[in-house]
Amino acid sequence: MPMLDAAAERAEKGAAPGQDAAPTIEQTSVAGEPCVLLKLGEIVLKGKNRELFERRLQNNIRAAVKGLGIKIQVWQREGVIVVRTESGELAEVDAVARRMTDVMGIVWVHRAWRVAKEVDATVQAALDLVGQHPALLRKGAFAIRARRRDKRFPITSSDLNVLVGAKVQERYDLPVNLKRPDMVVFIEVDQREVFVFTDGTPGAGGLPVGMSGRALVLMSGGIDSPVAAYRMMRRGLRVDFLHFSGMPFTGPESIYKAYALVRELDKFQGGSRLYVVPFGKAQQQIKSSGADRLQIVAQRRLMLKTAEVVAHNLGGAALITGDSLGQVSSQTMQNITALDDAVGLPILRPLIGMDKTEIMAEARRIHTLAISELPDEDCCTVLTPRRAETRAKIEDLRQIEKRLDAGEMAEQLATSLQEHRPSYGEPPA
Ligand code: ATP
Ligand code: MG
């Protein structure tokens, strides 16, 4: 069993702050130690800020694994991150790898074998990996794809391909097919060790959560707003959630849905907070003020004004909604313009150009669709006028708000909220 070179180990132990010390490699079914190798996307391109981004991602990785109760170590390598478990048990490494597919900023997740930086150890790991694939051994072709991040390694990538390929062929009598292989063995020579692995799983991509700052999502119980939240988390925003319930004129079902949705979305960021505002009485006041066909847009403006106060208190720099152009009457160009007029904060609308079918496909993929489709009584469906205005005039809306003192109403609503902390780790209600 090869051991890591002692000098490399010492270098590792003196690693930069936030980096974990190196272990010794234990005997396992493949000649090496199982680990998770993470390929980073855009983060690699960010020049000077790169270190900050990498540190943010490392912290997010640690936070994501916390709920699993598995002890890990995280190492930054050039353009990749290595996660190893303290136990080295395969089941634990697999669980960590699965969890990594929800962490924003990671493009590929590979279950890899970390082996000593020696040609013999590399060949042995490749042989073992191929040997673990009975289907391939019965009938199939393979390819070796090697690359060196450390050019001091005595063998070039193409020579390594030829050498390891020849050994695999000799041992298993399998054909090589570089164009359409049934199995690819990747070999990456790093500064301190060699990684050997087969295909991986696509990661979530995007930027690490928190890197772009903080924003507040207006979260209905519907299909769109959870997808909007997901999209903006994926661009590096840490988000808080604000839900308006129709209570006391509706039941609490919409709150349960918002809670379940946030618990599902929490897997992408951790530590999520959901704020719930009872909005029914405010809706009734809007109605009494004679809003008539402007009822829905006036409600949405009051939601936005309230959200602006809440965002201010939470340090949020933007509001996020699930609006999609033309999807419902409140989402015409004129009405969207009237909504933007209600607040000073930017309103981010990541779904603005998406079709409903596309939004639904994404909701299914991130596991929010089934929750969104549960029945509830949305606050916007009570007190809805028979014909909603599609071309709301800002002046008319301002008149209504003047009569109501909407600014004061928003301040009041922002103090009446309830805080919840739906967490991905907790069992469903
Ligand atoms: P969704 O599927 O997200 O409910 P929708 O297609 O039903 O969206 P609207 O009801 O017009 O469209 O809402 C548009 C956006 O306004 C929502 O995506 C959400 O961001 C916000 N919103 C609507 N209702 C609420 C609510 N009760 N609480 C918080 N935000 C809301
Ligand atoms: Mg809705």
Strands 183-189 and 72-76: unpaired
The more confident residue out of 390 and 422 is 422
Would the CA dihedral through 300, 304, 309, 313 be positive or negative? Answer: positive
- Assign residue 349 a region (left: φ > 0; alpha: ψ between -120 and 50; beta: otherwise): beta
**For the segment 203-237, what is each residue's pLDDT rounded down to a tens digit?**
999 999 999 999 999 999 999 999 999 999 999 99
244 lines ligand 1 (CB under 6 A): yes
H/E element holding 144? strand 142-148
Considering the domain boundaries, does residue 209 fall inside one? no
Three-state SS string over 330-395 comes to HHCHHHHHHHHCCCCCCEECCCCCCCHHHHHHHHHHCCCHHHHCCCCCCHHHCCCCCCCCCCCCHH
Helix axes 295-314, 280-288, angle to 10 degrees: 140
Same domain? For 383 and 403 the reply is yes
Q: How many domains does the chain have?
A: 2
Same domain? For 238 and 339 the reply is yes
| Number of alpha carbons in the 13 Å side-chain half-sphere of residue 315 | 6
Centroid of chain to Cα 302? 30
Using CA atoms, how far apart are residues 328 and 123, in angstroms rounded to an integer?
Answer: 61
| Rg of the Cα atoms in the chain | 27
> Which residue's structure tokens are 């965002």?
311
Q: Please tell me what DSSP assigns to residue 254.
A: H
Given 158, 173, 202, the domain boundary residue is: 202
Same domain? For 124 and 81 the reply is yes
CA of 225 to the centre of ligand 2 (A): 8
Considering the domain boundaries, does residue 79 fall inside one? yes
What is the atom index within ligand 1 of the atom nearest the CA of 227? 3
Same domain? For 297 and 265 the reply is yes
**CATH number for 290:** 3.40.50.620
Residues facing 244 on adjacent strands? 277
What is the atom index within ligand 1 of the atom nearest the CA of 217? 20
Q: Which domain holds residue 61?
A: 6-202
pLDDT at 390: 86
Using CA atoms, how far apart are residues 320 and 310, in angstroms rounded to an integer?
Answer: 13
CA dihedral 36, 42, 48, 49 (to 10 degrees): -80
- Whether a cis peptide bond, with omega within 30° of 0, leads into 248 is yes
| Number of alpha carbons in the 13 Å side-chain half-sphere of residue 324 | 18
Same domain? For 248 and 170 the reply is no
Given 169, 202, 235, the domain boundary residue is: 202
In Å, how far are 364, 385, 411 from 345, measured between CA atoms?
30, 28, 16
Same domain? For 241 and 388 the reply is yes
Q: Residue whose CA is closest, atom 4 of ligand 1? A: 222
Q: Which residue, among 399, 354, 345, has the nearest Cα to 214 in the 3D structure?
A: 345
Using CA atoms, how far apart are residues 23 and 417, in angstroms rounded to an integer?
Answer: 49
299 lines ligand 1 (CB under 6 A): no
What's phi and psi for 189, nearest 5 deg?
-85, 115
CA of 172 to the centre of ligand 2 (A): 59
Using CA atoms, how far apart are residues 9 and 75, in angstroms rounded to an integer?
Answer: 13
Q: Residue whose CA is closest, atom 22 of ligand 1? A: 220
- pLDDT over 70 at 32, yes or no: yes
CA of 414 to the centre of ligand 2 (A): 20
CA of 354 to the centre of ligand 2 (A): 16
- Indicate yes or no: pTM above 0.85: yes
Same domain? For 89 and 169 the reply is yes
Q: Residue whose CA is closest, atom 16 of ligand 1? A: 321
354 lines ligand 1 (CB under 6 A): no
Among all bound ligands, the one having the nearest atom to the CA of 327 is 1
Share of the chain above pLDDT 70, in %: 88
In Å, how far are 277, 278, 320, 322 from 410, measured between CA atoms?
11, 12, 18, 21
Q: Residue whose CA is closest, atom 24 of ligand 1? A: 220
- Assign residue 386 a region (left: φ > 0; alpha: ψ between -120 and 50; beta: otherwise): alpha
92 lines ligand 1 (CB under 6 A): no
**For the segment 324-342, what is each residue's pLDDT rounded down to a tens digit?**
998 877 788 999 999 999 9
pLDDT at 31: 72
Considering the domain boundaries, does residue 106 fall inside one? yes
Average pLDDT rounded to a whole number, residues 48-61: 89
Given 180, 202, 224, the domain boundary residue is: 202
Helix axes 224-234, 253-265, angle to 10 degrees: 20
- pLDDT over 50 at 6, yes or no: no
**CATH number for 187:** 3.30.2130.30
pLDDT at 219: 97
Q: Residue whose CA is closest, atom 23 of ligand 1? A: 220
> Which residue's structure tokens are 């959560």?
209
pLDDT band for 3, please (50, 70, 90 cuts): very low
- pLDDT over 90 at 376, yes or no: no
